[in-house]
Amino acid sequence: MLRDALAIMDLDEAQAASAQELVEELRDRHTSPEDEDFLRSAQAESLSLPAHLTEGLRELRYDDVPPAALVRGFPVDDSAIGPTPSHWRHREPGRTAAQDFWLGLLASLLGDPFCWSTLQDGRLYNDIHPIKGNELHQTGHGSTSVLEFHTEDAFHEYRCDYILLLSLRNHDRVPTTVGASRALRLSGEDRDVLFQRRFVIRPDTEHRRHMTEAEIASYERPVAVLFGDRDDPGVRVDPPYMEALPGDPEAAAALGRLCEQLQAGLVDVALEPGDVLVIDNQRCVHGRKPFRARLDGTDRWLRKLTVTRDLRKSAGQRGHPRSRVLRG
C-alpha cells in the first residue's frame, strides 16, 4: 500500500500559498536556484515551512518513518513552465525556477545538493523526460522499456543519500516505482554473501558517454551489495549494469534472490504536478513503468536533485570547495 511505503505530507491551500510566497521572495533575492548563497541559506529559510513537513523530513533523515516520502501541494502552472523539452539541452532557462527553489528548500532539510560533471553538463537540477531515440535506454530519458529498479548512481562511492523528484507534468500518470530494503527477507547465507565484495557495478550509459576508458575500467573493482546494519541493511544495486564476479555462482544466485524480492516489493507512485518524491537512496530502490512517449511537448517531465549528507567526503573529486559538481 502507498501509505505503508511512503510518508505522505500534504500542503493545504494556505500552506501552499505561503510556500509559494517564500519561493517568490527567494527568487527576488537570488539570481537562480543554483546560487551558492541560496543553497547555503536554504536550511535556515526552510525552517519557516509547515512543521509537519520539516519534522517529517527530519524523521526520514533519522530513519523513524518509511525511507521515502511524498510531499504534495506545491503549485505548478502548466503553461508557465512551457513545453516539455525535446532534449535537456534545449530547455528554456528559468521556466522552472519556482519549482527548483522549492526542491532546493526541501533538499536542505536532508543535506547538501550536488551533481555530476558526467550528467547534463554538470547542471545541479536535472531534467527527466523522454528523448526521441532513447526509448529503450535504461536512463531517465527512456520510455517504452521499463526503467529497472536501481540505486541512483550505484557504481559510485559518493552516490547520493537522497534523490528528490519533482513532477512538473505527468498527463498519462506514468508510475514511478519505489521499493525499500527493509522489506527484504533474506537467508543468513545470502545476507553473508551480499555483504561481501563479490559484485561489480558499472557506470550507466549517461555517465559512460563522458568518461575515458581508464575511468570506466576503474569501476571494475568488486563491491558489496548490502552494507550497514546486518538486520536492516542499506542496499546498492543496479541490475542492468552489474553482475557477480566471474566464476562466483553463489554470489550470482544470492543477487538473483535479492533482485526478485526487491522487484516484488515495488510500489507504483503516479506523481501529480507539484508532487515531490523523496527517496532515501541507501534504503530504497526506484524505477519507472514503461509508457509511450508523446514527443509533442506534453510528455512526463520531472526535475531531479540529488543530495548528500556529507559534501566534504567528495572534496577530492570536486574542482574547489564551493563547487558542487563531482567528477564521475
Residue facing Fe ion at closest CB distance: 152
- Smallest distance from Fe ion to CB 140, Å: 6
If you ran DSSP here, which 8-state letter would residue 223 be given? B
- Smallest distance from Fe ion to CB 188, Å: 30
When the beta carbons of 98 and 178 are compared against Fe ion, the nearer one is 178
When the beta carbons of 127 and 152 are compared against Fe ion, the nearer one is 152
Which of 209, 207, 88, 217 has the alpha carbon at shortest distance from 154?
207
- Non-local CB neighbours of 126 within 8 Å, separated by 6+ positions: 88, 115, 119, 120, 140, 303, 304, 305
Burial class (CB in 10 A: 0-12, 13-18, 19+), 80: exposed
Q: What is the dihedral of CA 287, 290, 296, 300, to 10 degrees?
A: -30
Helix (H) or strand (E) holding 292, with range, is none
What is the per-residue binding string for Fe ion in 285-324, x denoting contact by CB under 5 A? ----------------------------------------
When the beta carbons of 152 and 275 are compared against Fe ion, the nearer one is 152
When the beta carbons of 164 and 255 are compared against Fe ion, the nearer one is 164
Distance, in Å, from the CA atom of 212 to the CA atom of 91, rounded to the nearest integer, reads 27
Residue type, 34: E
What is the torsional sign of CA 104, 109, 114, 115?
A: negative
What is the per-residue binding string for Fe ion in 130-159, x denoting contact by CB under 5 A? ----------------------x-------
Helix (H) or strand (E) holding 118, with range, is none
- Smallest distance from Fe ion to CB 46, Å: 24
When the beta carbons of 38 and 158 are compared against Fe ion, the nearer one is 158
Question: Does 238 sit near Fe ion (CB under 5 A)?
Answer: no
113 to 91, 131, 187, 302, 305: CA distances (angstroms): 21, 25, 36, 17, 7
What is the per-residue binding string for Fe ion in 40-79, x denoting contact by CB under 5 A? ----------------------------------------
- Length of the chain equals 328
- Smallest distance from Fe ion to CB 165, Å: 8
Distance, in Å, from the CA atom of 32 to the CA atom of 4, rounded to the nearest integer, reads 36
Q: Which residues pair with 243 in a beta bridge?
A: 200
When the beta carbons of 49 and 174 are compared against Fe ion, the nearer one is 174
When the beta carbons of 57 and 284 are compared against Fe ion, the nearer one is 284
Alpha helix (H) residue ranges in 35-166: 36-46, 51-61, 97-108
Answer yes or no: are the C-beta atoms of 24 and 98 closer than 8 Å. yes
Residue with cell 526552510: 46
When the beta carbons of 23 and 277 are compared against Fe ion, the nearer one is 277
- Smallest distance from Fe ion to CB 288, Å: 8
Residues in contact with Fe ion, counted by CB under 5 A, come to a total of: 1
When the beta carbons of 178 and 251 are compared against Fe ion, the nearer one is 178
Q: What is the dihedral of CA 61, 279, 121, 320, to 10 degrees?
A: 10
Which stretches of the chain bind Fe ion, using CB under 5 A? Answer: 152
